[in-house]
Chains A and B, each alone.
Chain A
């Protein structure tokens, strides 16, 4: 037993060390190659002021020194300490927050301050690895995090202290309330976090939420009031203690800070002109900063980490709920907060990576270990019955599979072949005269070395490029937000149409609804009208200048119904809203029918029993209808999700610039298209990537259908 424990401890320490090594390497590379970013000059200047104070010993000056006073001074003081060993340099000039990056900063100062950041960043990754080794690995390679913890930004220190805040709270939580020391440590680090950068305090809110949920589940709400109070007060005390700038005039300085934030977030030109939609933080999570400076970012797999986190959410919730709650609280805050700088996502990348670690276990480790277990057990089973059947099946199977192979499988395999080339509309002649086969077979056999081709492809003859197009296309999809939009569209449109479909189905399910059949037929119409025509009908409503809405507003002014939607084409949130209106219109009838079909299957006896017990309709829905209906609805939701993920005609008709991967593939392909056209090989790459995503969707559908006895492998 003791030996086993020792092995586990060694495993955790080893994994933390490996993660630290990896994180350190990646951050070292970033800090030595990254260009100077916005704000780095500001914080370096602030650091220089503190360095001077330490050198001269003029401690009184601490109370009045805090360049860029909107952020508390702790992180800047730490940068100041890191500059102590270096010779003094002239103070970096003061410039407005909107000024571009200052590329002429003293190299030695920049380097010391960046190394300080990177050390904190590396420590955070190593600590995360102690909680979840895969999560630590993800944080080590997370590109956005790497970038911002390798620069003279205020992110690295509060990211570390906020994680420690969470870590010690979890430690205390696991001890079931014993060990007040851990709670004090948590409060200590929360105070230090607040003294570095305020937004990182979302961890405190997340802890409160987790604390309250936990107490509510255990029905001991009263027991937590005292510890919460002391934890909060202690962290506030630490905040003031670690924040010398507040010592002279706490109230005044606090007021000054609050005023700054309310005016900066609503009036600063760089904030208002950015025009980001509220979901911009999600766009960052589904993209990478690789395109900004490709040589500085070694690994750029952020979107994958986010996907893993989505998969792992439920499991992490059961294992340790604080981390997923932290992610959600931080996201809600970032949605509401009007300033949407990319560095803000660092407030949630640590818990995100832990959750992603759980997701990677679900998606990769578990299936692999199950497969191994299965391989071991299935070696001895007999197959006689099956082989008899196979003989009888052969006359049907041989022609059937031949056709399936020719029409479906071979084209898809051929597509993978095309994706290894730079085939495009200019090399079309060579391609059709055997160029594709020549290059693909030559390349796979190793006779042809992959050539490097710049995108977009405009070569006159087909060339083998191996898998070189894949990273380029993947980065294109993530960094331009196409992948994010596709997933975001899938989730929002399916959520809204499911909700609407469910509401309508429930309403029609009531007894004695007036005009029931009529309503039903009316609501089926959008489903029956071909998608392209339905979309065009909505274009007729929404088209700028020529549409119903636009004509109505120009004739009757702002009092026209839905006038606020006029001019929707200029804002990304409004474009999404209009696309949703059209997309949900087309999609909700299907969900309504699926829900109605499900409702008809529900046993009547249960409702009679509930009526006898005097349950009201809300309770009946919450405890009877919903739990019984949900498993029947899930296949429909997945089928609709696949459809939404592939949705094509709607975007093709609306032409807003938003597009799913299918639409993108078409427009890359189309030789006479308005986009970067005739890129046959690129379109093939996108299609192969799409197939990868659909494999995931179909696995889900299979799993759910099997549990709800829909698809049977009889």
Chain B
């Protein structure tokens, strides 16, 4: 329809290149540090490339990046907390999400508004009450406590997204199951849940990411070295400053980001839909 002439093409590429540079500069800054084996502490001169290219910092990070804590322990804590929070949010949120997706009941509109509002609140808004309640229950400094905290942050958003998933399942299928004599629980278990599974997985993934990359609330709640998560350890390393090579810190950035980047690149459109708080365009 519109053939681009070459001037347009060149200008396009130049602008894209500039934006690309903007995107890559900070990332490259981290990569250059992560693979520099010569750093003892903070960098003291400007370099575009590592002075001594080495995989050592990366391997050291994978072994014991933070104080006396093994990487495996940090990873384990991160996984317990984030996966736990995602699972709790999914399981506990499912029934309300299904009710919102399938039924009409009085007060539904204000309830949905409340849900959307809660999903939009910053985690900080839940900090005060959670801190107090978990302290009273003596759970505040435990991994279970932190899991519950992250689950609370994720729950409203998770319910909102699962509701979208259930809405995309066609009502006719459910009605057919109903006519065949299945009760509503059976219909849910054998029809709605499997069909909504992809959407539910995405909801779980986003809940997981919330816990995975959270550090500030984490430090308010847990403080012992063996309950620290990956994200928290990064922040602690920033705070302690120059005590260790900055290549370790930069390696940590890269190790933590890679899995998420892969997921985002693969699932970009679905994730975008979820984050826009829209419902699935098929169905309904």
Which residues of A approach B to under 8 Å, CB–CB? 383, 385-387, 389-390, 392-393, 395-397, 399-401, 403-404, 407-412, 414-415, 418, 428, 431-432, 436, 500, 503-504, 507-508, 510-515, 519, 521-534, 536-538, 540-541, 546, 548, 551-552, 554-556, 582, 585, 590, 593-594, 597, 604, 607-608, 611, 617, 635-636, 639, 642, 646, 648-649, 652-653, 662-663, 665-666, 669-671, 680, 683-684, 687, 690-691, 694-695, 697-698, 701-702, 705, 710-714
Contact = CB atoms under 8 A, between A and B. Distances in A.
Contacts of B248: none
From A383, A392, A507, A533, residue with most partner B Cβ within 10 Å: A533
B109 interface: yes
B215 A585 contact: no
B71 interface: no
A698 B1 contact: no
A649 B213 CA distance: 10
A523 B264 CA distance: 12
A507 B122 contact: no
B238 A653 contact: yes
A524 B264 contact: yes
A444 B127 CA distance: 23
Given A408-B118, A702-B116, 8 more contacts: A507-B16, A532-B215, A533-B213, A556-B46, A663-B124, A669-B128, A698-B116, A711-B116
Contacts of B213: 530-533
B111 to A, nearest CB: 8
A710 B117 contact: no
- Nearest 7 A-B pairs (CB), nearest first? A400-B96, A530-B213, A393-B103, A528-B264, A646-B122, A537-B26, A411-B129
Nearest to A403: B92
A414 B96 contact: no
A512 B116 CA distance: 40
A618 B283 CA distance: 37
Contact of B95 (A396, A528, A698): A396
Interface residues of B, number: 101
Interface in B22-47: 22-27, 29-30, 33, 42-46
Interface of B: 1-4, 8-9, 12-13, 15-16, 19-20, 22-27, 29-30, 33, 42-46, 92-93, 95-99, 102-106, 108-109, 111-118, 120-133, 135-136, 151-152, 155-156, 159, 167, 184-185, 209, 212-213, 215-216, 220, 231, 234-235, 238, 249-250, 253, 256-257, 260-261, 263-265, 268-269, 272, 275-279, 284
A526 B46 CA distance: 23
Contacts of B277: 635, 639, 701, 705, 710-711
A513 B27 CA distance: 25
A392 B98 CA distance: 12
Contacts of B284: 712, 714
B127 A683 contact: yes
27 contacts: A386-B104, A390-B104, A392-B184, A407-B92, A408-B156, A412-B118, A500-B19, A504-B19, A511-B2, A519-B20, A524-B264, A527-B264, A548-B29, A548-B46, A555-B45, A585-B26, A635-B277, A635-B278, A652-B216, A662-B122, A665-B125, A669-B124, A671-B220, A698-B117, A701-B277, A712-B279, A712-B284
Nearest to B283: A714
A583 to B, nearest CB: 12
B238 A536 contact: yes
A68 B126 CA distance: 56
A1 B36 CA distance: 87
A684 B125 CA distance: 8
B127 A666 contact: yes
Contacts of A404: 96, 115, 155-156, 159
Contacts of B129: 410-412, 414-415, 418, 684
B214 to A, nearest CB: 8
B122 A690 contact: yes
B268 A407 contact: no
A410 B25 CA distance: 45
B127 A665 contact: yes
A432 B92 CA distance: 27
B234 A525 contact: no
Nearest to A387: B106
Contacts of A528: 257, 260-261, 263-265
A533 B234 contact: yes
Given A408-B118, A698-B116, A714-B167, A511 B103 contact: no
B155 A533 contact: no
A594 B278 CA distance: 12
From A414, A431, A537, residue with most partner B Cβ within 10 Å: A537
From A401, A504, A507, A530, residue with most partner B Cβ within 10 Å: A530
Given A407-B155, A519-B16, A710-B276, A529 B103 contact: no
B105 A393 contact: yes
B210 to A, nearest CB: 10
Nearest to A383: B106
A691 B121 CA distance: 7
A585 B167 CA distance: 34
A642 B261 CA distance: 23
Nearest to A526: B23
Contacts of A414: 129, 132-133
Contacts of B256: 530, 533
Contacts of B121: 646, 690-691, 694
B261 to A, nearest CB: 4
A412 B122 CA distance: 12
Nearest to B259: A528
A594 B277 CA distance: 12
A401 B108 CA distance: 11
A663 B209 CA distance: 20
B30 A537 contact: yes
Contacts of A503: 15
A511 B276 contact: no
A238 B265 CA distance: 69
